[in-house]
Structures are given as C-alpha cells and as structure tokens.
Amino acid sequence: MRKSMLKPTLITTALLLASNMAMAFADDECVKPQTERKYQHIGCLNNEGISKVQIYGKYGFVDKVGKEITPIKYDTIYSYDDEGVFTVKLNGKWGLFDNRGKEITSIKYDEMSDFDEGVAGVKLNNKLGFIDKTGKEITPLKYEMVTTFNDGLAMVLLNDKSGFIDKTGKEVIPLKYDGATIFDDGLAMVTLNKKYGFIDKTGKEVIPLKYDNSSGFNAGIAEVKLNGEWFKINKKGQRVD
C-alpha cells in the first residue's frame, strides 16, 4: 500500500486481486476428483477431499469421487488453504465456507476481503469490520474504512478519525487522528491539525507531529517538510542530510 496521508484504500478492493486458481498445485502434487461430468475447471482436492469445480460460469464443490456436495450455483469461490476456509459469492453477496464445503456464515455480506492472518474484512450496509475464520465478527461492523492488518494492527476510520485495532477488535490506539498509514517496520505516519509525525505500536508519538508534510519511511529514511524546507530524517527523528 502506498504510504500517503490520503484516506487508505478499502481492504475490500484486495479481493479483486485474488487468484481464482488458489487451489492449484504443481502437476505432480495435484490430485483431482474422479468425475465423469465435463466441468470446465476442476481444482485439486484439499486435505479434506474437497475440490472446487466450475461449469458455465458457476462454481461449487465436489468430493473425491465427484459427488456434488453443493449446488454448482455460486458466482465466485476463493480458497484459502492455509486458513482452511473458502469465501463464496452468490447474487452479489459473500459468505464463508469451511474446507469441507460447509457454510460457516450465511451469504450476506456486501463485500469480503482476502483472508490474511486468520481475519478478513467485511462490509454490510456500508459499514465495515472484521470476521475470523470461525465466522465470528471480531469487531462491530461500524467503521467507514479499514485496512489490512500489518504488524498485528489495522487502521480503522470512524467519524472521519483514524486509529488502530488489534486482532481481538480492541481499539488499542485511539481514533483521534485526521489520517494515518498502516504500520511499517514498527511505525505509522499520522496527521492531526495539518501536522505530520510518526507513532509506534503503543501509540507513542516517537516523532512529534510538527511537520507540514511527510513521506513514509523507506530504508529507514523519511522526507519531511518544515517551514518550507524539505529534508530527510531517520527513525529517531534526527536530520540526516
């Protein structure tokens, strides 16, 4: 993600980049179900003996002998083998299935992000939050914008103020900033009252919010603007040029 002080990109857009072939392995590792039906795509069996199949633009699940364990009716299915879940889209809504092809959540969300580190962003009625792979909503669906988790924290926006939550849904850094980036190497850039600085994961402002503009850190160096002058600082806030 670009490290700018613009409002962060919705986590839900990440889903558009997900590979539709996530179940595929190298040919010598791929075991496919035995089926006589002429599917247009047959995925590899997962560790529960389930495969994703596709025909005429619709998706579903079959077992290792080719028996359909769901109707072949879904618009999209993404698999997350490391997490043991599938995200499924039907009629513009998203839901969560386990790796046996069984429904975990109803297909009700307007948008759902990739699963990453055991959580996914979801959107319902224009509000965002997170669910875990059991389908539990670990935060209320109340936020206006969220990012992916990075360094164990996600940036969230509510009432035009930014802060950070952990994976339990706790708001560990208060929602008080006018803007923020995701954490990168232990620091996040924040802005308040048109001044820029950096905080650590405890919320401590380790580089004071005194700059008129700033880039993010790259290789331990950030460019900042103060009193009309641009210069470089290190992660201790010391000028280095």
Q: Would you state the pLDDT for residue 28? A: 53
| Long-range contacts from 63-68, C-beta under 8 angstroms, 24+ separation | 63/33, 64/31, 64/33, 64/34, 65/33, 65/34, 65/35, 66/33, 66/34, 66/35, 66/36, 66/37
| Tokens 């950070």, residue located | 164
**Which distant-in-sequence residues (6+ apart) come within 8 Å of 27 by Cβ?**
none
Q: Would you state the pLDDT for residue 214? A: 96
DSSP structural state of residue 43? P
Cα gap 185→219, rounded to integer Å: 10
User: How many Å is the maximal CA-CA distance in the chain?
Assistant: 73
Q: Per-residue confidence of the chain (241 residues) as pLDDT tens digits?
A: 323 322 333 333 333 333 333 433 344 589 999 988 889 999 999 999 999 999 999 999 999 999 999 999 999 999 998 899 999 999 999 999 999 999 999 999 999 999 888 999 999 999 999 999 999 999 999 999 999 998 899 999 999 999 999 999 999 999 999 999 999 888 999 999 999 999 999 999 999 999 999 998 999 999 999 999 999 999 999 999 7
φ, ψ dihedrals at 85, nearest 5°: -140, 160
Residue 73 has a CB neighbour count (10 Å cut-off) of 11
Q: Which among 20, 8, 28, 2 has a CA at the least distance from the CA of 177? A: 8
φ, ψ dihedrals at 198, nearest 5°: -135, 145
| Domain boundaries of the chain, sorted by first residue | 11-170
The answer to whether 104 touches 96, Cβ cutoff 8 Å, is: yes
Q: Would you state the pLDDT for residue 199? A: 97
Q: Would you state the pLDDT for residue 95? A: 98
- Predicted TM-score (pTM) of this structure: 0.80
Task: Classify 72 as helix, strand or coil.
Answer: coil
Q: Which among 79, 80, 70, 71 has a CA at the least distance from the CA of 101? A: 70
The answer to whether 44 touches 32, Cβ cutoff 8 Å, is: yes
Q: How many residues does the chain have?
A: 241
